[in-house]
Amino acid sequence: MRARTYFLLLSSSVFLLWLAYPRLIDSAFAEWLVPAANWPTRGVIGDSFGALNALFAGIGIAGLAVNIYLQSRQLRNVELREVQNERQLIEQSAAVRRTALLQYYNDEIARLERLVAEYERLAQSGNKDETVEQALFRQHGDIRKKRDALVSILEKEEQ
């Protein structure tokens, strides 16, 4: 909004200067410097409008410089937003991977608990095999340890 206000102020000032320039030259210099009948001398004064052309060229270059500056600032802001969005996406994908891994460990623990329960049911009926029981408990413990380690890592990351 400020840039628009400055632009309007600058544009209106230039326009008013453009309108007033012939009058300023004519009233300030021509009447008391050159009599009204001396047209060739007034032609020389008319050539002083070249200074006005230089003024407009300078204002145009200044406007171009301001425009380049504003565009570079805007581009920098866009790049910063893109970097922030990329970081958020990376964090979200890492969270999804951790959640999927945690879900996998929980599913494995549930599956092994079902197997242990089935084995205990068979053991109560008299069909007991020590090696299968030990292997199931060992797998169950290993997976539970991995899951607990992952949970502790996740809790540290959240803090």
Q: Mean pLDDT across the stretch 129-141?
A: 69
Determine the pLDDT at residue 127: 58
Q: Mean pLDDT across the stretch 98-107?
A: 84
Determine the pLDDT at residue 119: 74
Determine the pLDDT at residue 39: 63
In this prediction the pTM is: 0.44
Could you count the other beta carbons within 10 Å of the beta carbon of residue 52?
14
What's the rounded Cα separation, in Å, for the pair 36 and 56? Answer: 29
Instruction: Please state the domain extents for the chain.
Output: 48-158
Q: Mean pLDDT across the stretch 77-92?
A: 93
What's the rounded Cα separation, in Å, for the pair 125 and 49? Answer: 113
Determine the pLDDT at residue 157: 74
DSSP state of 37: T
Q: Above 80 in pLDDT, residue 154?
A: no
Short-list 102, 79, 83, 101, CA closest to 91: 83
More confident residue, 29 or 85: 85
Residues in contact with 22: Cβ distance below 8 Å, sequence separation at least 6, in sequence order = 49
Q: pLDDT tens across 111-121, in order?
A: 878 777 777 77
